Amino acid sequence: MKIIRTHLTLILLATTLGCKEDVEKNDGIIDEEGIEVSQWEQVWADEFDGETIDESKWNKLRWRPGWVNNEQQAYTERDTNLYLDDGNLVIQGLIEPGYYGTDYTGTAYNSDYTSGRMNTDDKISWTYGRFDIRAKLPKGKGSWPAIWMLGENISTVGWPNCGEIDIMEHVGFDDGRIHASIHTEDYNHMNNTQKSGSTFTETATDSFHIYSLEWSPTYLRYLIDNESYFFVYNASNGDVAKWPFDEPQYIILNLAIGGDWGAAQGIDPSAFPMKMLVDYVRVYKMSENFNNIQVTFQVDMKNETVNGTGVWLSGGSISSGQPGGLQMQPVSDTYIWQTTLTLPPNSSYTYKFRNGFYPDTWSGGWESLSGDCGTGQHSDRSLSVGISDTTLQAVCFGECIKCAE
């Protein structure tokens, strides 16, 4: 959810401790002995099984229309916009011509639309972990639901410097297209430099799906129903303008109506009431059984004139959202270039090698692969990793095998 605002509440130096006992996540990995072990331990959750929203966990926001992104709804704390029903949180967008209200500052407004927005700001926040949100999205043009996170330090450093992680965004005029993004000082939609990915989920507005984020110091991995579709690797070398994601963030759930993106094809009055249903929000930390793996990529540039800006691992899913790619380093006294990445276990990627650094474009420098080792629309290399550190064979640039002697 793209945002420009001033955060007016105090920072909470929250921990990853929650109100529940730790619970193991169901999915696991197979260790070297063939035994399934848990990757994650639950540290916090809201199952929305009570009669009312737990205000020890959530803030209900009161905003006037147009506060961000030229959105047309007012956010209210009324039980017509935010309530629990049959084990689900319901965030309901309504068409209410002439609705009168006041925002949290006491400023009066009129609005033709109302909806709901909740967050965990100043209640609990997390640094790293896995976040699972099972939700059914609203249908209809003008809807703009989001599941996302913001840095707790927004009140001191502002947006986008605090960092924003969009776990799920959906706009009603493009039914089923799920978006994931990050926004930072260097990478944000105001400069058209945000890092984003998307996938199509045909039944997003008809049934529940689990929208997940795995967040570590070295990567952000986005999944739907446990299938990965977007990946951002931390190639910042400590530059917080590129990677501010080593500080606590809090969760936000909201249903916007209209706005710069949501109303790009208008608002359908017949689509109301719009409902975003959330079955649960679950947060996990990495268990002691979880081990990221080290994967070393190698390419032999023996038959190539290397561009002055070097060789890069780019394209595909491993550096999606990063046109320039991930930098490789030359190995002394050889033609080989290599880089080692820290990746989650039991994961799959596509990629290519790129001769030269092109940070602002997806054209130029690519290797051209045959169907023997290329896959997909752009003929990318593919890789699946298990639970062991791996060094890949140094293949010849643009070829499927080692360079000829």
Geometric angle at alpha carbon 239, from 343 and 247, rounded to 5°: 70
Burial of residue 141 (CB within 10 Å: 0-12, 13-18, 19+) is: buried
Instruction: Please pick, among 41, 71, 169, 214, the residue that the annotation labels catalytic.
Output: 169
Separation CA 15–CA 123 (nearest Å): 10
Catalytic residue among 41, 71, 96, 164: 164
Look up 32 and say whether it is catalytic.
no
Question: Which pair of structure tokens corresponds to residue 246?
Answer: 């080593």
Please name the residues in contact with 237: beta carbons below 8 A apart, sequence gap of 6 or more: none
What are the residues whose beta carbons fall under 8 Å from the beta carbon of 353, sequence distance 6 or more? 299, 311, 312, 313, 314, 328, 367, 381, 397
Kindly report the number of other CB atoms within 10 A of residue 328's CB atom: 22
CA angle 124, 156, 54 (to 5 degrees): 20
CA distance 281 to 156: 27
131: nearest Cα among 45, 33, 260: 45
User: In degrees rounded to 5, what are phi and psi of residue 174?
Assistant: -125, 65
Task: Let me know if 164 is a catalytic residue.
Answer: yes
Positions marked active-site: 164, 169
